[in-house]
Amino acid sequence: MFGRRNKKGAAEDAAGEAEQVVDSVDTEADEEVEEAERERVRLEPEPRPDGPWDSTEVRDPAEGRVDLGGLFVPGVDGMELRVEVAGDAIVAATVVLRDSAIQLQAFAAPKREGIWGEVREEIGSGITQQGGIIDEVEGPLGWELRAQVPVQLPDGTGGFQVVRFVGVDGPRWFLRGVISGQGAVQPQAAGLLEQIFRDTVVVRGEGPMAPRDPIVLKLPNDAQMVPEGVQQEEGGSRFSGGMGQLQRGPEITEVR
């Protein structure tokens, strides 16, 4: 025997089916977005026609550069070079040029997979969780993060420091730069720092390294560690910025 369904019951059934369809569409859309994000961070390293360079791509890495072992950093007039220490290892170098600076740090990376997209997301998430502001843009060095990072000002009040996080994936390595000072807010002040980043040579080495392990640096043979705040002597360097001596400077750490 067939019964007649009332209009209210039929309407409720139709609404339930429509809701299930909407939920299914939303779930599929979310999954597509997540998959797209995963694919974005799995991309192979892009070509680097303008650098930074792998040690196999440069005939003489030491020509015009300071030999720091894992990095050959270009030397320019008026620059000061500081090294960043983690425990007993030197893991980063900071080039200070007038009122701007760029910190250079190299890491091991997978052979066929870039990590800059993933690292950008992690940095951005960490900064926003601390109340900062980030903007992902395509700049002169490719995709970068321009961030306003919460800091404590000298008078004890809270403020923000503008910082640019740049990065490039290479063959089994990743080079990150952190630009601060005027170079982070004025394009005309950043040009030379960006060129230093492009002309840096990374020496990954052939030994096994886990992805994201820092590529350890060393001091040049003729360098001396100068405590921060100590005035350097003039001269004694092939560059005019006192490059014969290096300072240990405050580490600019990744916000995670």
- 11: pLDDT confidence band, cut at 50, 70 and 90? low
Residue 151 CB coordination number (10 Å): 11
Euclidean distance between CA atoms 105 and 19, whole angstroms: 51
Of 196, 77, 92, residue with least CA distance to 140: 196
Q: What are phi and psi of 192, to 5 degrees?
A: -70, -35
pLDDT, tens only, 188-219 = 899 999 999 999 999 999 889 999 999 999 98
Q: What is the pLDDT of residue 181?
A: 96
pLDDT, tens only, 164-181 = 999 999 999 999 999 999
Euclidean distance between CA atoms 202 and 84, whole angstroms: 17
Indicate the DSSP class of residue 59. Answer: S
pLDDT, tens only, 41-80 = 556 777 778 889 999 999 999 999 999 999 999 999 999 9
